Amino acid sequence: MPLVSMSTYKAPPLFSSPDVQTIFPSLFRTVRGIRYRRERIITPDGDFLDLDWSETGASRLIIMSHGLEGDSRRSYVLGMVRAFNRRGWDALAWNMRGCSGEPNKLPRFYHSGATEDLEAVVAHVRQISPRHRGVGLVGFSLGGNITLKYLGERGKAVDPLIVGAVAFSVPCDLAAGAREMARSRNRIYLSRFLRLLHGKIRAKMTLMPGRITDQGYHRIKTFKDFDDRYTAPLHGFESAEDYWRRASSNQFLPAIAVPALIVNAANDPFLGEDCYPIAEARRHPKVYLEIPSSGGHVGFVSFTRGGEYWSETRAGEFLAEVSAAPR
């Protein structure tokens, strides 16, 4: 029964609020000392992905997938990179299409179910990096959904390099997450996401005139509005609901064949009730679910001497344990 009944995370004083947990790291956390080596790879459909490497010469590698409108420079990614480098792992933080500072080439961009791009990254690692004999996956929010869906789609046929995964703040049910984000309490977050996504649309308009337009964008008020107008038609879905149904990771959890830890805070303001796959974890010997009482969305703030957040310590411990276990 891999349902973690007692989480070790305890919020610092004055940090029990889900909004403080969510906003504080984004505004005030700085992670120094990470120097990336950037590599660009070409995807099978002729687009590109920018990969940022932080290497120690290790035989183990962590591949990190950021969240919605994130990138490899976000503090939650840099903190995780630093934590794994300290533990003797190389780290690869890949930027989803259009998230590395340059618009991608095709009308499509990234979405919560785009596991083909994570597959391209894993395949590239296998091809060019023979020293890496164990690969762990870490995903945040949208990137966590991609990570879990990727593992479930492949099941027992998953690349044998992969030893396990950790996913934080995962909207395992995208419809439930979209409904939660549409609540009035989340208006400030939703407005920010829609503003950033508008920038992606405008960049594509410049790159490919006449192929995409932002006319009437001011009428988009929810993720359903955005996904109906852009995500679904650009990526082969019939509607927002069809996209949410097909891309949600919860339906893929039963097929996961490597140890996977999901950490969703009970007070995450972005997650609806169906984003906590309690029944699935109880039935699955390798899918672990941990629900700290606090943590917000990709928060889990800690004040330690080394500057490491609890989520980074937790991921490091879990993947060290599963990578050392016989397979």
User: Rounded mean pLDDT of 67-82?
Assistant: 98
User: Rounded mean pLDDT of 305-325?
Assistant: 94
In this structure, what are the phi and psi dihedrals at residue 62, rounded to the nearest 5 degrees? Answer: -110, 130
Whether this prediction's pTM lies above 0.85 is answered by: yes
For the chain, the farthest-separated pair of C-alpha atoms sits apart, in whole angstroms, at 56
Write the pLDDT tens digit of every residue in 7-18: 999 999 999 999
Write the pLDDT tens digit of every residue in 223-248: 999 999 999 999 999 999 999 999 99
Distance of CA 285 to the CA centre of its chain: 23
CATH number at residue 244: 3.40.50.1820
**Does the active-site annotation cover 124?**
no
Q: Is 287 helix (H, G, I), strand (E, B) or coil?
A: strand
Segments forming the whole domain that contains residue 71: 3-324
Query: What percent of the chain is predicted at pLDDT more than 90?
Result: 94
pLDDT class for 327, splitting at 50, 70, 90? low
User: Rounded mean pLDDT of 59-83?
Assistant: 98
Q: How many CA atoms lie within 13 A of 102 on its CB side?
A: 8
pLDDT class for 305, splitting at 50, 70, 90? confident
Exactly one of 50, 100, 297, 323 is catalytic; which is it?
Answer: 297
Query: What percent of the chain is predicted at pLDDT more than 70?
Result: 99
User: Rounded mean pLDDT of 191-220?
Assistant: 95
- pLDDT reported for residue 192: 97
Give the chain's domain count. 1
What value does the mean pLDDT of the chain take? 96
Write the pLDDT tens digit of every residue in 146-167: 999 999 999 999 999 999 999 9
Cβ atoms of residues 78 and 112 within 8 Å: no
Cβ atoms of residues 200 and 98 within 8 Å: yes
Q: Which of 24-33, 124-133, 172-181, 257-266 is predicted least confidently?
A: 124-133
**Does the active-site annotation cover 268?**
yes
Exactly one of 50, 117, 227, 268 is catalytic; which is it?
Answer: 268
Exactly one of 65, 72, 112, 141 is catalytic; which is it?
Answer: 141
